[in-house]
Amino acid sequence: MLIALMKDGQTNMRMKASKTWSQQQLAIKLRVEQAEKPGLLSWERQRLLIHAAKTALAAALCWGLARRLGLHDGYWGSISAIIVLQSNVGSTVNASRDRILGTLIGAVLGFSFSLFGTLPWNYILAVLAAVIVCGLLGLRSSSRLAGVTITIVMLVEKTGPRWSLALDRVIEVVLGIVVALAVTTLVFPDRARLRLRDGLAQEFLVLGAFFEAILHGFSGPPAENFTALREDALAMLRGNNQLLEAARNEPSGGPGWREGLSMLSQFGRSLYDALVALEFSVKDSHNDAYAQQLEPALGKLAADIRSGFHHVAGRIHAWRFDVEPPRMSLEEDIAQLEARMDQIRHTGMGFSQAEILRAYAVQLHLKQIARLLRASRVETGRAVGEARS
C-alpha cells in the first residue's frame, strides 16, 4: 500500500510537472524519461563557449586599454581579468574583491619593507607580514595574491622608485578587475542566484527521490539506487552552498531574494539530516508486521510527502510560494496517522518491542519531514514578502 500510493502520486506529478533543464536531467538520471541525444551545442557547451568568449574579450580589452593608457606592463591587467572572471557574476565579484585587497596589501607592504633592510631578509619579513595581516583580517584567500604583489614590487629588476612600481601594479590589477566586472555584468550575464534557484529546485527533487528510496527499504528490499541518491543529495547540498556564497555577492534581484535563497538552503540541509535519521530508523525493518497495521494512514502521509517535495521544487522554480499543494494537507495526514496509532496501540502485545519502536520512530521522522516541507514553503513565502502564505 505504501509503495503503491507513492508510485501513483509520483507518476501524476511527473506527468504534470513543467521541468527546468536541471529537472529534466534529474528525470533522465532516475530513468523516468528517455535521454535525448545531445546536440552539437548542448546547454553546458553553450555556457562553456560563452564563458570562453567573455574571458577572451576581457583579456583583449585590458590589453588594448593598457596600451592606450601607456602602461608598460599592461599584461598584468589581462592576467587579472582572466583570473577573476568566473562562470557567474557573484563568483566574479568575490574573486575581484580577494584580488584587489591582496594587491593593495601586497603593494603597501612591498613598498614599505623595501625602504629598510636588504634582500632577502626584508622580502621574507614582508611576505610573513602579508600572510599574518590577511589572516587577521579574515582574508586568507587574498594572502597568496599579496605575496605575489610583494614579489613583483621587491624582486623585479626595474629602474625607478619602488612606489612607482607598486602603484603601477595596483592600477593594472584594478583595470583588469573593472573590465572583468563590466564584461561579466553586461555580456550574457550568468546570475548565481538564478542558477541557485534552479539548483535548489533540483535539490528538493533529489531529496524527494532519496526519501522514496528510504521508504522502499521500509516495506521491502533496499532500493538499487539508494547509495547513489544519497551521494547525489549530499553533492547537491555542497554545490548549492557554494552558489549561495556567490549569490550573496550579487545585487539583489528583488525583495527577499537573499533571504529566500538562504532560508531554502537551510531547509534543504535540515531535510537531509531528517532523511538520514529516517534511514537509520527503517534499517532492518522490511519484515516488520506492526508497520502494516498503520496503513492506509502511513502510506497516505508518505505519498503526500513525496508529492510535497515536487510541489516545493515547483514553487522554487516559479519563485512563488503562496500556492497550496492541490488536494493534500500534510497536517491532516499527520493527524490521521496519529489517530491510527492510537487505534492499534492495544494490539502491540503481539509484536516485538523492536518493531513497535521502529514504527514510532518512523512516525516521528515523517512528521518532522512533513512539517519541514511545509515550513520551507510558508517561511520562504514570508521572507520574499508574499502576502499570503
Spatial CA neighbour of 333 closest among 359, 371, 276, 360 = 371
The C-alpha cell that represents 364 in the structure block: 516521528
Separation of alpha carbons 61 and 55, rounded Å: 10
Quick one: CA dihedral 144, 148, 154, 160, positive or negative? negative
Stretches in the chain below the pLDDT threshold 70: 1-44, 158-160, 219-220, 252-255, 284-289, 347-350, 386-389
pLDDT score at 376: 92
pLDDT > 90: percent of the chain? 10
Please give the biggest Cα pair distance in the chain: 94
pLDDT score at 386: 65
Question: Tell me: the pLDDT tens digits for 50-90?
Answer: 889 889 999 999 888 888 888 777 788 888 888 888 877 88
pLDDT score at 86: 85
Separation of alpha carbons 209 and 226, rounded Å: 9
The C-alpha cell that represents 284 in the structure block: 532492518
Contact 90, 185 (CB under 8 A): no
pLDDT score at 30: 56
275: Cβ contacts below 8 Å, ≥ 6 apart: 207, 210, 211, 214, 233, 369
> For residue 362, with 0-12 CB atoms within 10 Å meaning exposed, 13-18 middle and 19 or more buried, which class applies?
buried
- Provide the Cα torsion 163, 168, 171, 172; round to 10°: -150
User: Is the model's pTM score more than 0.85?
Assistant: no
Domains parsed from the chain with CATH numbers: 2-34+192-383 (1.20.58), 45-186 (no CATH)
180: Cβ contacts below 8 Å, ≥ 6 apart: 58, 80, 81, 84, 85, 92, 96
Contact 275, 207 (CB under 8 A): yes
pLDDT score at 234: 92
pLDDT score at 125: 92
Alpha helices in the chain (DSSP H): 2-16, 21-29, 43-69, 75-84, 89-113, 121-136, 140-155, 162-186, 192-219, 226-247, 257-281, 297-318, 330-343, 353-383
Contact 328, 304 (CB under 8 A): yes
Cis peptide before 120 (omega within 30 of 0): yes
Separation of alpha carbons 88 and 110, rounded Å: 32
Rg from Cα positions in the chain = 28
> For residue 227, with 0-12 CB atoms within 10 Å meaning exposed, 13-18 middle and 19 or more buried, which class applies?
exposed
Q: Residue 270: how many CB atoms within 10 A of its CB?
A: 15
pLDDT score at 144: 85
